[in-house]
Amino acid sequence: MLRSLYNWAIRLAGGRWAMPALAIVALVEATFPFPPPEVMLGPMVLARRERAWLYAAICTAGSVSGGLVGYGLGFFVAPLGLKLLTATGHPGAMASFQHLFAQYGLWVILIKGLTPVPYMLVTIASGVAQFSLPVFIGASIATRGGRFFLGAALLQHPSAKAVIERRLNLLAGVGVLLLIAALVAVRWLEHHSGG
């Protein structure tokens, strides 16, 4: 089943609607609960290695644009932003963000922008907290761009597709374990920082 899903994703990645869909997925994921853009970025880079940097740039632009939408929700319509956080299962996200931001400032945005924590938490909470918009944009470009360009660079390697196809099940299992470990670590850090 994993093999057929992989083959399907590679076929879709080469389609004519792949780039607009990638931009939309990156935009939506920064504002609402949605799968991370890497779900599309990875197969697209594997299907068309020569377009890796273009795909990473589209992903970054979409994510930063979505981040601005989330920031705007928090800044201009704070009650709606807080309801969205609560409705998506993150009722304490704002208090946690404020506590972490008071302790670590800009580092909170930089670290959370790189981790698998839903980016919408950072975008909406930054708007509600009225965090500096220029600094928020710069941090978003740095973290989201860094994340997407690093992923594209790794997958652009000439042997990446062959390695992934040969070791698909093993890599999928390791990926799931790393994702779970990262989420547990982030939750633990949030809990032990008083959030």
pLDDT at 79: 85
111 φ/ψ angles, rounded to the nearest 5 degrees: -70, -45
**Environment class of residue 79 by beta-carbon count within 10 Å: exposed (0-12), middle (13-18) or buried (19+)?**
exposed
Location of structure tokens 């990473």: 56
Lowest model confidence (mean pLDDT) among 91-105, 154-168, 173-187: 173-187
* 0.85 surpassed by pTM: no
pLDDT at 195: 47
Mean pLDDT for the chain overall: 78
pLDDT at 166: 67
pLDDT at 69: 95
pLDDT at 61: 96
Lowest model confidence (mean pLDDT) among 43-57, 139-153, 154-168, 169-183: 169-183
Q: Is 145 strand, coil or helix?
A: helix
Give the domain ranges of the chain: 2-192
User: Cα–Cα distance between 38 and 100 in angstroms, integer?
Assistant: 27
Encode pLDDT of 77-134 as tens digits: 888 887 877 777 666 666 777 677 667 667 777 776 666 667 888 888 888 888 889 9
Encode pLDDT of 38-48 as tens digits: 888 888 888 88
Q: In the predicted model, is pLDDT for residue 189 greater than 80?
A: no
pLDDT at 83: 82
User: Cα–Cα distance between 38 and 28 in angstroms, integer?
Assistant: 13
Encode pLDDT of 15-38 as tens digits: 788 888 889 889 998 888 778 888
> Higher pLDDT residue, 164 or 146?
146
User: Cα–Cα distance between 17 and 19 in angstroms, integer?
Assistant: 6
* DSSP 8-state symbol, 50: G
